């Protein structure tokens, strides 16, 4: 790949390792439970207008007790929105401790 760099061009790297997209970085901040709940909500249409799924629908898909998806869903949303709105401010990630 470096052979394709034209003469006179300069390449500078600031780190090495596996590439992780911004989306992967955001999702990596979530717990497994938060990721599963958020993914199910999105796939079921919870975020569509009009809403196509309820928390009960999400609960059925993730296989948890009734009424237990609200907390992980809110926590996931808080982490993601916090990083998008104020990425340098860790206080924007307002979520409960597990």
Tens of pLDDT along 16-58?
777 666 777 888 889 999 999 999 999 999 999 999 999 999 9
Domains of the chain, residue spans: 29-89
3-class DSSP state of 10: coil
pTM (2 d.p.): 0.68
- Positive or negative, the Cα torsion across 65, 69, 70, 75? positive
What tokens were used for 1?
Answer: 């790949």
């Amino acid at each position: 790949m470096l052979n394709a760099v034209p003469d006179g061009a300069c390449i500078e790297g600031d780190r090495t390792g596996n590439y992780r997209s911004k989306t992967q970085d955001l999702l990596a901040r979530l717990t497994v439970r938060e990721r599963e709940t958020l993914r199910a909500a999105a796939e079921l249409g919870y975020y569509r207008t009009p809403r196509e799924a309820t928390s009960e629908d999400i609960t059925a898909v993730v296989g948890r007790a009734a009424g237990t998806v609200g907390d992980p869903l809110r926590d996931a949303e808080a982490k993601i929105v916090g990083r998008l709105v104020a990425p340098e401010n860790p206080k924007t990630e307002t979520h409960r401790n597990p």
